[in-house]
A and B are shown apart, each in its own frame.
Chain A
Amino acid sequence: MTTITNKAQNPTAHLSPDDIEALGAELDAIRQSVLDARGETDAAYIRTMVDVQRKLELGSRAVLLVSAFPPAWLLGTAGLAVAKILENMEIGHNVMHGQWDWMRDPKIHSTTWEWDNASTADGWKHSHNEVHHTYTNIVGKDNDLGYGIMRVDEEQRWYPLYLAQPLWNFINACFFEYGIAAYDLELGRNLRTPKEKRSEEFKRSLTNTLKKIRKQATKDYVINPALAAPTGSFLPALAANFTANVIRNIWSHSVIMCGHFPEGVETFELKSIPEKETRGEWYLRQMLGSANISGSKLMHIMTGNLSHQIEHHLFPDLPSSRYAEVAPQVRAIFEKYGLNYHSAPLPQQVASAWHRVVRLSFPNGWLATTNAKNLPSQLKLLYAMTTADKRKRRVMQRLLESAAAKKEMAKAA
């Protein structure tokens, strides 16, 4: 991936400023049609969803009281994992976006909702709603791009440390909720700041997050197992909670990777974004910076309708249950304006996102110029680049890039 302004072929080059504003107006019209239509059935949808989720979680936890019995463990763990996924994705994420604020129900409202996750609702709303949704895919501005710990773009300089990023990414997937919490706190940046210079706001958020993590861990790893102890199910229940959390973490990590990381999703240079981005320009950036997952209705619900990532990024505050219905209209606009509507089944999108993570863990061009025959020499080159000083590494990098470009040209010809 290269930011679009640095690409040989900018995918938006064929659009005039008027086209972009016209496209914005068409998207606004779609948005208005949903605002006009939303009503009782939408309200019933989210209330039913919350009701089903809570009963499923309660039922699963009840089954786990006898989780020393293996079938009960399996059933309870599966139920709890599904309940946690629904709670985080279709309910928590979307409620905190304010998708249901229009109902004026204080129980289902972005300002009052708290979720079953290590990160606090307040911290998450700031980093996700304000930063990520506003600065989507702008390198250096949108921390969702690699969460500040990964190399997700060719234009980020390669360091040997990045060789471990597939491993980081996997560990981050398993413990994703803590990753998000750390990321919401901008933990890395703040820990680098000397203690006495850290902001009051950070200290407060840190205290709140630690308190929340303690409560969450007490629930999953102390109290619920203890309630199961009378049937000799303490350890099985603990394992069940841990497993359900890991499943939820890996699932949400995968879905979120699919939203912005698959190959072909565009990134943007900060300096290419006009100071006063128009509505149309903002829409265009959202259109190119997101990817959808195609699949069944159940899959959409389990991803919190983030399978409609494109629609979600265009209309983050519309009820998630309406994304499926506007998707064909949005797609038609992509086609009308000659843009690529990026959609593929889940396994394909996950593989593509992982391919990008692996590819970028190596220096630019390394993976492209490597084949079975030249593997030993390529590894030697990689070793040399890893151990070389900055200047030599930069020279080797340039050579590698031109070799890759040559190969690309040969392929094209």
Chain B
Amino acid sequence: MSTTTDTVRPTRLRTGLRSLLDAAVTPLSVDDLLDHFAPLRNGAQAGLQGRIVAVESETADAATIVLKPGKDWNGHIPGQYVRVGVDVDGVRLWRTYSLTHGPRRDGRISITVKAIPGGAVSQHLVRTARPGQMLQLAQAEGDFVLTPPQSGSRQKLLLITAGSGITPVIGMLRNLYSRNEAAARAAYDIVLVHSAMKRDEVIFGAELRAHADAGRLRLVERHTDTDGLLTMADLEAEVPDLAERTAYACGPAGLLDTLEAYYGERRLTLHTERFRPTVVDVAAEGGTLTFAGGSAASVETDGSVPILDAAESAGVLMPSGCRMGICMGCVLPMKSGAVRDLRNGELTVAVPGETHPDGVKIQTCISAAAGDCTFDH
């Protein structure tokens, strides 16, 4: 009894004091004000943020951004990704990047970014981001992670990566070999097949080769400039025991599609990580998007652009998440109209009086307008 009152009283006092102080600064809250002094503290009102502590060059076009995340960061499992909100020319843009370290003792996290030609965010992060700048963060997500080691048996793994697809895998490797190397060697038998344009474009090239030299894994490094694109025949030749290995793959959509077809046919285990939805070519229609709720806006769009992008470009504040049709963070109720799923061309229609009165919930990040649409937002 005494313990409960002891714990209840300070909390009640604290919430009482908090609401008094909030009332002293309304319409703001105390948290709004604290954000101006300590944006990385617990419970920051402006959401989770991270401060850039270092920008380390990896190759001519790639850099690792080391961040000190806010206290609300829940940690991550190597292989997971994080959504990052970056102010580019004053406009906040969100992208997804793999975390390239295991959990670190200093509590910092890192992402490694390859500057894509014309890519607003990747170019900004690689070329202009500087220590001290703040980024918005979401919590780590994703299930592209290794199965924990089982006692007694050694897991046989095949890691297939291409280009910046190495980023989730380097996080796994760093985590394995920086903690208890002997245990990691005993738990996993790893073959890594990595493909990049040429040798000096291999992100983490030196680190990967060092792992191979130390006998921690077998590295098959392929350079598409000289070796051509990786085919299934190449893979079978390089990895004779492929069928015995659990596979993890991350890279361009073409590679992943090929792998999925191959593994699917043979009923073998394959985990993949995609950073862009596969977009099918659908007849562009477009129309007027009307946001009938608090946003009160209307936006003209064509049928090839996700509704999320079209609305954001027009200055409408939209909920968003993974931007690839996974997390459901962008879902809005469509009161009337039709949208087309950009991944498979499927049509979703809302008709007032026929469909649900609250509207049909659609994912704005992978849906494009197929005619005029009205949203409650």
Stretch at the interface among B88-96, B109-117, B157-165, B352-360: B88-96
Pair A224/B24 contact, Cβ less than 8 Å? yes
Stretch at the interface among A15-23, A67-75, A213-221, A336-344: A213-221
Pair A112/B26 contact, Cβ less than 8 Å? no
Pair A101/B23 contact, Cβ less than 8 Å? no
From B20, B90, B92, A39 is in contact (CB under 8 Å) with: B90
Q: How far is the CB of A402 from chain B (nearest CB, A)?
A: 50
Interface membership of A282, Cβ < 8 A:
no
Chain B residue numbers with a CB within 8 Å of A54 are 28, 32-33, 36
Interface membership of A43, Cβ < 8 A:
yes
Interface membership of A297, Cβ < 8 A:
no
Alpha-carbon gap, A305 to B262, bound state (A): 64
Alpha-carbon gap, A212 to B23, bound state (A): 11
Given known A-B contacts A101-B315, A102-B315, A223 and B24 have beta carbons under 8 A apart:
yes
Given known A-B contacts A39-B89, A54-B36, A106 and B23 have beta carbons under 8 A apart:
no
The tally of residues in B whose CB lies under 8 Å from a CB in A reads 24
Pair B89/A111 contact, Cβ less than 8 Å? no
Chain B residue numbers with a CB within 8 Å of A227 are 24
Interface membership of B317, Cβ < 8 A:
yes
Alpha-carbon gap, A111 to B318, bound state (A): 11
Q: Which residue of B lies closest to A115 (CB)?
A: B27
Interface string of B311-353 (1 = CB under 8 A from A): 0100111000000000000000000000000000000000000
Alpha-carbon gap, A104 to B87, bound state (A): 9
Alpha-carbon gap, A219 to B19, bound state (A): 12
Alpha-carbon gap, A221 to B45, bound state (A): 26
Given known A-B contacts A54-B36, A107-B46, A223-B24, A101 and B90 have beta carbons under 8 A apart:
no
Which A residues from 176 to 235 make CB contacts under 8 A with B? 212, 215-216, 218-219, 223-224, 227
Chain B residue numbers with a CB within 8 Å of A106 are 317
Chain B residue numbers with a CB within 8 Å of A102 are 90-91, 315
Interface membership of A393, Cβ < 8 A:
no
Q: How far is the CB of B211 from chain A (nearest CB, A)?
A: 40
Given known A-B contacts A40-B89, A215-B27, A219-B23, A111 and B33 have beta carbons under 8 A apart:
no
Q: Which residue of A lies closest to B293 (CB)?
A: A111
Interface string of B29-60 (1 = CB under 8 A from A): 00011001000000001100000000000000
Given known A-B contacts A43-B87, A54-B33, A111-B294, A104 and B92 have beta carbons under 8 A apart:
yes
Alpha-carbon gap, A111 to B319, bound state (A): 13
Alpha-carbon gap, A224 to B23, bound state (A): 9
Q: Which residue of A lies closest to B90 (CB)?
A: A43
Alpha-carbon gap, A54 to B92, bound state (A): 22
Pair A215/B23 contact, Cβ less than 8 Å? yes
Chain B residue numbers with a CB within 8 Å of A219 are 23-26
Chain A residue numbers with a CB within 8 Å of B33 are 54, 58
Chain B residue numbers with a CB within 8 Å of A51 are 36
Q: How far is the CB of B123 from chain A (nearest CB, A)?
A: 14
Pair B23/A109 contact, Cβ less than 8 Å? no
Pair A103/B26 contact, Cβ less than 8 Å? no
Q: How far is the CB of B121 from chain A (nearest CB, A)?
A: 13
Pair A223/B23 contact, Cβ less than 8 Å? yes
Chain B residue numbers with a CB within 8 Å of A223 are 20, 23-24
Pair B90/A98 contact, Cβ less than 8 Å? no
Q: Which residue of B lies closest to A129 (CB)?
A: B296
Q: Which residue of A lies closest to B92 (CB)?
A: A104
Alpha-carbon gap, A38 to B88, bound state (A): 12
Interface membership of A398, Cβ < 8 A:
no
Q: How far is the CB of B237 from chain A (nearest CB, A)?
A: 49
Pair B26/A216 contact, Cβ less than 8 Å? yes
The tally of residues in A whose CB lies under 8 Å from a CB in B reads 34
Main secondary structure of the interface of A (DSSP, over half): helix
Interface string of B1-39 (1 = CB under 8 A from A): 000000000000000000010011111100011001000
Q: Which residue of B lies closest to A216 (CB)?
A: B26
From B20, B45, B46, B317, A109 is in contact (CB under 8 Å) with: B317
Pair B315/A40 contact, Cβ less than 8 Å? no
Chain A residue numbers with a CB within 8 Å of B90 are 38-44, 102-103
Interface membership of A116, Cβ < 8 A:
yes
Pair A215/B36 contact, Cβ less than 8 Å? no
Interface membership of B258, Cβ < 8 A:
no
Chain A residue numbers with a CB within 8 Å of B269 are none
Alpha-carbon gap, A109 to B295, bound state (A): 10
Of listed A40, A43, A109, A111, residue having the most chain B CB within 10 A: A111
Q: How far is the CB of A117 from chain B (nearest CB, A)?
A: 9
Pair B295/A105 contact, Cβ less than 8 Å? no
Chain A residue numbers with a CB within 8 Å of B316 are 101
Pair B317/A112 contact, Cβ less than 8 Å? yes
Interface membership of A114, Cβ < 8 A:
yes
Alpha-carbon gap, A116 to B92, bound state (A): 26
Q: How far is the CB of A300 from chain B (nearest CB, A)?
A: 21
Chain A residue numbers with a CB within 8 Å of B45 are 107
Q: How far is the CB of A329 from chain B (nearest CB, A)?
A: 22
Of listed B91, B93, B294, residue having the most chain A CB within 10 A: B91
Pair B317/A218 contact, Cβ less than 8 Å? no
Pair B317/A40 contact, Cβ less than 8 Å? no
Q: How far is the CB of A64 from chain B (nearest CB, A)?
A: 11
Pair B36/A55 contact, Cβ less than 8 Å? yes
Pair A103/B87 contact, Cβ less than 8 Å? yes
Pair A111/B317 contact, Cβ less than 8 Å? yes
Q: How far is the CB of A214 from chain B (nearest CB, A)?
A: 10
Interface string of B82-103 (1 = CB under 8 A from A): 0000010111110000000000
Q: How far is the CB of B23 from chain A (nearest CB, A)?
A: 5
Given known A-B contacts A111-B294, A219-B24, A101 and B317 have beta carbons under 8 A apart:
yes
Of listed A98, A219, A224, A227, residue having the most chain B CB within 10 A: A219
Pair A104/B312 contact, Cβ less than 8 Å? yes
Chain B residue numbers with a CB within 8 Å of A58 are 33
Chain B residue numbers with a CB within 8 Å of A105 are 87, 92
Alpha-carbon gap, A116 to B33, bound state (A): 14
Chain B residue numbers with a CB within 8 Å of A39 are 89-91
Alpha-carbon gap, A107 to B26, bound state (A): 15
Given known A-B contacts A98-B315, A104-B317, A107-B46, A40 and B23 have beta carbons under 8 A apart:
no
Q: Which residue of A lies closest to B23 (CB)?
A: A223
Alpha-carbon gap, A223 to B24, bound state (A): 6
Alpha-carbon gap, A44 to B89, bound state (A): 10
Pair B87/A40 contact, Cβ less than 8 Å? yes
Q: How far is the CB of B31 from chain A (nearest CB, A)?
A: 11
Q: How far is the CB of B16 from chain A (nearest CB, A)?
A: 13
Q: Which residues of B does A touch, CB under 8 Å?
A: 20, 23-28, 32-33, 36, 45-46, 87, 89-93, 294-295, 312, 315-317
Can you list 7 pairs linking A and B with CB atoms under 8 Å apart?
A40-B89, A40-B90, A43-B91, A58-B33, A103-B87, A111-B295, A212-B27
Having A104-B91, A223-B20, A223-B23, one finds 11 other A-B pairs with CB under 8 Å, namely A54-B32, A58-B33, A101-B315, A103-B91, A103-B92, A212-B27, A215-B27, A218-B23, A219-B23, A219-B26, A227-B24
Which 4 pairs of residues, A with B, have the shortest CB-CB distance?
Answer: A43-B90, A39-B89, A114-B27, A101-B315
